[in-house]
Amino acid sequence: MNLKLFLVVALLVTFIAACNDNAANNANDSTSAAEKADTMKRLSPDQAMRLAIFENVFEKFDGPGGPVLLSKAEPCFRLYETRMAEHGVGRPVPVNVRITKEQKITDYVIFGGKELLNWIEKTVKKYDPDGLGDNLEFHIQFGIYTDTYIGERFPAGQERERRKNRFTVFIVPYDLRTKKNIAFDDTEVFNLGGLQP
C-alpha cells in the first residue's frame, strides 16, 4: 500500500477509535456550532487535537472523491502515458520533445477520509472477504482527465474547466493472487478528489 495512503488510513482509524463518539464520527456540514461545541467538551485534549488535524486535512478541498468504474478511468491512464511519452518520459521510445503549450500543475489530490475509508472497506469485503485485505493492494495510478470523463461527471461550467486536462490520481484495487488490477465490468476505482492547487 502506498505510504501516504497508509498514513491517511492509519490517521483515520486512530481518530475514529480515539473519539468513540457518534456525534464526532458522523459530523457533517449540517452539524450546528452548539452540537460541535458540546462534542468538543467531551473530548480529551489529545482527541481534540486529532479532530483538529482531521478537519484541517480533510475539510479544505473541493470534493471528497468517490468511486468510478475502472472502464471509465482507463482512457485517463492512456492519456497520461501518451502525454508523458510526448515529454520523453516513459518506456524506451525515441525522444524528440518540443513542448508547445503549458499545462496546469497538480501538486496533490485530496480525498475525504470517510469516503476513502468506506470505499476501501467496501472493496475489501467485495474482493477479499476471507483474507480481510491480505490479498489486496491499492495502487495509486496516474491519469489525466479527458474531456469525456469530466463531461460525464461535471456540468458545464467552472469546475469542468478547472479539471480539464489536469493530472489526477486514481486508487486502483490490485489482487496479489492474480498479480493484476481487479478488472471486472463493475470494478470501481477511487477518484474525483480535490485537485491542488
Do residues 28 and 119 both lie within one domain? no
The verdict on 52 and 81 lying in the same domain is no
Domain shared by 107 and 186, yes or no: yes
Q: What is the distance between the alpha carbons of residues 35 and 83, in angstroms, rounded to a whole number?
A: 49
Q: Which of 193, 173, 171 lies closest to 183 in space, CA to CA?
A: 173
pLDDT above 70 for 34: no
Given a contact cutoff of 8 angstroms between Cβ atoms, the answer to whether 191 and 68 are in contact is yes
95 and 26, same structural domain?
no
Please tell me the distance from the alpha carbon of residue 195 to that of residue 111, in angstroms, as a whole number.
9
User: Looking at this protein, which amino acid is placed at residue 32?
Assistant: S
* Share above pLDDT 90 across residues of the chain, in percent, rounded to a whole number: 43
Task: Examine the domain organization and report whether 33 and 122 are in the same domain.
Answer: no
The boundaries of the domain holding residue 129 are 65-196
Residues 165 and 162: their CA atoms lie apart, in Å, by 9
Please list the residues that pair with 196 across neighbouring strands. 108
Question: Quick one: cell of 189?
Answer: 476505482
Residues 72-118 pLDDT 10s: 999 999 999 988 887 777 766 666 667 777 778 898 999 999 999 99
Tally of domains in the chain:
2
Report pTM.
0.64
Tens of pLDDT, residues 36-70: 667 667 777 777 766 665 555 444 446 789 999 99
Is residue 50 within 8 Å of 13, Cβ to Cβ? no
**Do 70 and 53 fall into the same domain?**
no
Q: What is the pLDDT of residue 158?
A: 81
Among 23, 43, 58, the domain boundary falls at 58
Per-residue pLDDT, averaged over 146-164, amounts to 88
Instruction: Based on the fold, state whether residues 39 and 107 are members of the same structural domain.
Output: no
Residues 149-161 as b or e (16 or more Cβ within 10 Å = b) = bbeebbeeeeeee
Residue where one domain finishes, among candidates 16, 38, 58: 58
Select from 40, 58, 76 the last residue of a domain: 58
Q: How many CB atoms lie within 10 A of CB 146?
A: 18
The set of cell numbers assigned to 38 is 458540546
